[in-house]
Chains A and B, each alone.
Chain A
Amino acid sequence: MKTNGHKPSPAAHLPKCPTGIQGLDEITDGGLPRGRPTLVCGGAGCGKTLLAAEFLVRGAVQFDEPGVFMAFEETEKELTANVASLGFDLAGLVRRKKISLDYVHIEPGEMQESGEYDLEGLFVRLNHAIDSIGAKRVVLDTLEALFAGLRNEAILRSELRRLFRWLKDKGVTAVITAERGREQLTRHGLEEYVSDCVILLDHRVNDQIATRHLRVVKYRGALHGTNEFPFLIGDEGISVLPITSLGLNHKISSERISTGIPRLDAMLGGRGFFRGSSILLTGTPGTGKTIVAANFAQAAALRGERTLFFSFEESPNQIIRNTLSIGLRLEPLVKRGLLRFHAARPSLYGLEMHLATMFKEIATFQPRVVIIDPITSLMDAGTASECRAMVTRLVDYLKAGQVTTLFTSLTQAGHALQQSEASMSSLMDSWLLLQDTEGNGERNRVLYVLKARGMAHSNQIREFLISDRGIDLVDAYIGASGVLTGSARAAQGALEKAAVLATQQEAARRKRELERKREAIERQISGLRSDHESETMELRRIDEQVGTSTLMLTTERTASGILRQADAKVTTNTRRDPRQGRKIS
């Protein structure tokens, strides 16, 4: 429906008259049809007069378009007082000739009618008012009062038709308010005359919570948002909160910011969250959501980033005191203006009002990090669909400003964690889960990263310890017997240690044994070696003995041979042989 970004040429477009009312110009893609009358209808107390008045005041102040306010129900004084509560200085604008007020007094029964008449008197007054200040805008609030004052309806209707024609000819952008009728848009069928633009206001009560809605029923010749949009009347006038006017085209940062808990950063790919992302932190009661949030807030503030902490459960002082007990020092940061708390009870006012207040706080403080603790408290202030719409708007609004937001969310014990937040989690970029595990007569906190868009993250469950030094994340024991935390984890650790020790001792014993064996063998080896050596000696001695005796024998034989004069040659050969044999041995 919306033509954001690529606007068609102005020639093809109906000229628009910006209202300056927050959100309304987005729905109508630029404002009300310029130079034509617009009908604003709705029941009692839904803000018709206020919308009309704001249209006029903003026109005079922001767009330099003076306006005429013709009131049929409230006197000038009443009107000035009523809109003063929204910060509009009507009297000042009247003095500066930016706005002309004209109260048309109609007292039914005070006037007698006799014969024909026309409403030229009204035309004269209007014309005079328009011309005296050069008005471009006109408000007629509530024209239908004429029906109560004038009996001749035939004349009245024809005169009204003439009036709207006249307004168009005059070229003023007019807003005509009318009371809502039972079966038609207005009680007296004014929509019949105003055919260019009709806006319907509505004030409904759902579950004891009243919400105002605005719908553009008709806008001839222009595209417009057809949905019903919640709107509210704050202390700066009306703001319509169109969910659809925010697109998914915000700028993206790849900068990462620390969570304030080093081990948690490590779980998120080592560098923490993306700047401008939205983070959901769910947990059952007492799992430390606020503490994680306070850590994040402190880390941001210490980096010098302005941080806004919306607290819907605890007072700021209570948070400061409680977090001091775990070593967080928030008070100096508050004093330095880096950290601001905004605390309000969720039941204080309706959802839309909360949203508007938050928008206002964000707009004035300009934070880089916003913490909402917890978002679920606000859920009580509206119906589920409204809450979702509200969170969407908040997320979009913050993302558009590249504000990193941490929402904590309380899950009632016994609910399925993932399911209860499913509607909200799709809006979030990261989702951390804090959980209690019960066992061994104790409750222990665990934390895990359920999702983290666009970053590598740990799939592990970590045990989450809160001590007076702060938060620590400990590897939980994960084994065959499941996730062990607390004393069970410690016991398991001791068990493992004992087992390791036993293995070490066993190894040492076996080593010693082998050493002993080796030594024994060595001893044996050296024994054998000495045996071997003595035997060799023996052998040599034997050889020598044999050699000597042979020599002696040969010598004797030679000698006897010489004596007998036997063949000498043979004997020399035999004499050499034994020598050789000795050498070999």
Chain B
Amino acid sequence: MKTKTVKRRATVSKRQPAKLWQLRLYVMDSTAKSQTAFANLKRLCESHLKGIYRIKVIDLLKHPHLAKGAQILAIPTVVRKLPKPVRTILGNLSDTERVLVGLDLRPVN
């Protein structure tokens, strides 16, 4: 079921401009930790990837079966689906420098 979703996303991405970033944020419920993570991610994307990113928030409390396919271990987790390769960052993203390294994002010159 999950593999299907991935494929669909992949085909969609081909139609998008090459530079589009697809990010997924896996959370459990809308706890304060999740909120922080989402806020941190959004802030980073706004400053580094304005207009070329999409964040999809997946609540594992509602879709627990998605955790297995996405190999989710920790909460919260950000997965960079595109551009390839897939990258994973754990935590509430409070350490900006690490997130930038993790997402392979060069600060805008």
Contacts and interface: CB of A to CB of B under 8 A. Distances in A.
A121 B75 contact: yes
Interface of A: 102, 104-106, 110-122, 124-125, 127-129, 146, 149-150
A219 B103 CA distance: 47
A114 B92 contact: yes
A115 B91 contact: yes
Given A110-B88, A113-B89, A128-B68, A118 B74 contact: yes
A117 B28 contact: no
A106 B67 CA distance: 14
A288 to B, nearest CB: 68
Nearest to B28: A120
A162 to B, nearest CB: 13
A113 B95 CA distance: 8
21 contacts: A111-B88, A112-B101, A113-B91, A113-B98, A114-B90, A114-B93, A115-B36, A115-B91, A116-B92, A117-B77, A117-B92, A119-B73, A120-B60, A121-B26, A121-B60, A121-B67, A121-B74, A121-B77, A124-B28, A125-B68, A150-B90
B84 to A, nearest CB: 13
The 10 A-B pairs with the shortest beta carbon distances in the complex, nearest first, are: A112-B102, A115-B94, A121-B72, A115-B91, A120-B75, A115-B92, A128-B64, A114-B98, A114-B95, A117-B74
A104 B60 contact: no
Q: Which among B36, B75, B99 has the greatest number of chain A C-beta atoms within 10 A?
A: B75
**Interface of B (DSSP majority class):** mixed
A116 B33 CA distance: 8
Interface of B: 26, 28, 33, 36-37, 40, 60-61, 64-65, 67-68, 71-77, 87-96, 98-99, 101-102
A111 to B, nearest CB: 5
Given A125-B64, A128-B65, A113 B71 contact: no
Q: Which among B67, B92, B95 has the greatest number of chain A C-beta atoms within 10 A?
A: B67
Nearest to B99: A114
Nearest to B29: A120
A100 to B, nearest CB: 9
A317 B92 CA distance: 75
Contacts of B94: 114-116
Given A125-B68, A128-B68, A112 B89 contact: yes
A120 B60 CA distance: 9
**Interface of A (DSSP majority class):** mixed
B57 to A, nearest CB: 14
B58 to A, nearest CB: 11
A112 B90 CA distance: 6
A392 to B, nearest CB: 49
Given A110-B88, A121-B75, A115 B68 contact: no
B88 A117 contact: no
Contacts of B88: 110-112
A121 B60 CA distance: 8
Contacts of B60: 120-121, 124
Contacts of B73: 104, 106, 119, 121-122, 146, 149-150
Q: Which among B61, B73, B89, B101 has the greatest number of chain A C-beta atoms within 10 A?
A: B73
Nearest to B86: A110
Contacts of A122: 73-74
A112 B87 contact: yes
B72 to A, nearest CB: 4
Contacts of B65: 128
Contacts of A129: 68
A146 B93 CA distance: 20
Given A116-B92, A125-B72, 18 more contacts: A105-B71, A106-B73, A110-B87, A111-B102, A114-B90, A114-B95, A115-B40, A117-B75, A117-B76, A118-B33, A118-B74, A120-B74, A121-B72, A122-B74, A124-B60, A124-B67, A125-B64, A150-B73
A104 B67 CA distance: 10
Contacts of B102: 111-112, 114
Given A110-B88, A121-B60, A125-B64, A115 B77 contact: no
A114 B91 contact: yes
B1 to A, nearest CB: 12
B74 A112 contact: no
Contacts of A115: 36-37, 40, 91-95
Contacts of B67: 121, 124-125, 128
Nearest to A106: B73
Nearest to A110: B88
A149 B60 CA distance: 21
B91 A116 contact: yes
Nearest to A128: B64
B89 A111 contact: yes
B76 to A, nearest CB: 6
Contact of A124 (B64, B71, B91): B64
Nearest to A146: B73
Contacts of A149: 73
Contacts of B28: 120-121, 124
A128 B73 CA distance: 13
A152 B81 CA distance: 24
Contact of A104 (B37, B71, B75, B98): B71
Contacts of A114: 89-96, 98-99, 102
Contacts of B26: 121
Nearest to A156: B74
